[in-house]
Amino acid sequence: MDILIGGFLLGGTYALMALGLQLQYGVARIMNLANGEMLVAGAFGAFWFYSGFQMRPFLAIVLIVPLAFVVNWAIYHYLLTPLVRRAKSRGQLEVDGILATFGMSFILVGLMLAVFGGEYFSYSYLERAVFVLEQPYGLNRIAAFCASLVFCIALVVWLSHTRSGLALRAVAVNPTAAGLVAIKVARTSAIAFAIGGAVTASGGALLSMFLTFDASIGVIFTLKALIIVILGGVGEIRGTVAAAFLLGLAETAVASLVDPGLTLAAAYLLFIVVLLVRPRGLFGSRS
């Protein structure tokens, strides 16, 4: 039972970071391998505001989100648009995007190492225990979970029920057709990438409330986000959320039943099994 709840709590934040990647890949067609570093940057941001200014993480997020939006918009506008222009096909853009963001991930790690150093970081905030079904859980974890849930719901509602959300999905499905209905495709892609980055960074800030992190841990989160996106199916928002909870559950189960050192191995195994059984993802329907 506590595996179930623990997995659920973890899944919430996972969902948030994977939705960020989903927006970047689904709409802007950039499989962002620097996604994990953006998450770690968010975590460092929250840490810095908390330790430097005693600012509560929830307040820090209010500052981190617009900051991350601007940074990611700039990354897309200045670094990725040339690749989009150069690409002759979607396949080529994917490859170029992977390589470019891959380089960026190293740069981000390098920058964070230079600023913060290579140690492990954590801070204590809301460290009281809360009892759910007679089991103790950190209040910080529950708070982070609730915040993620609110963000996720807001995102899903925005995407499926507003004109701008629909425009975003239109670009994801068929950029040429989107241009034909007067959607500004380049701008929409940039916005989607920026929102994706901001969402991921907010996920990092929330994770930092209860997780120890260091400058080079990003690749692990990139892998997890990628696994979730693929499990859920590219472009499938609900699938992503479901896959995030599944992964959170699987990891918690392996960590508490087998060994905490094998969580990534478990995630990876899950990924392989699903890929072999359902190559389009658990909830994917695209042909």
Chain contacts with other proteins (rule: CB under 8 A): 25, 31, 79, 82-83, 86, 91, 94-96, 98-100, 102-111, 113-114, 163, 166-167, 169-170, 173-174, 176-184, 216, 219-220, 223, 226-227, 230, 235, 259, 261-262, 264-265, 268-269, 271-272, 275-276, 279, 285-287
Which is nearer to other proteins, 4 or 269 (by Cβ)?
Answer: 269
CB of 251 vs other proteins, minimal distance in Å: 12
- Among 191, 168, 170, 152, which Cα is nearest to 70's? 191
- Number of C-alpha atoms within 13 angstroms, CB side, residue 232? 27
CB of 131 vs other proteins, minimal distance in Å: 32
CB of 229 vs other proteins, minimal distance in Å: 9
CB of 205 vs other proteins, minimal distance in Å: 23
Identify the H or E element spanning 129: strand 129-132
- Number of C-alpha atoms within 13 angstroms, CB side, residue 157? 6
Which is nearer to other proteins, 7 or 235 (by Cβ)?
Answer: 235
Contacts of residue 112, defined as CB under 8 A and 6 or more positions apart, other chains included, come to 37, 40, 41, 44, 215
Which is nearer to other proteins, 122 or 216 (by Cβ)?
Answer: 216
Interatomic CA distance for residues 243 and 7, integer angstroms: 12
Which is nearer to other proteins, 140 or 263 (by Cβ)?
Answer: 263
CB of 124 vs other proteins, minimal distance in Å: 28
Interatomic CA distance for residues 93 and 87, integer angstroms: 5
Which is nearer to other proteins, 18 or 205 (by Cβ)?
Answer: 18
Q: Strand pairing partners for 132?
A: 135
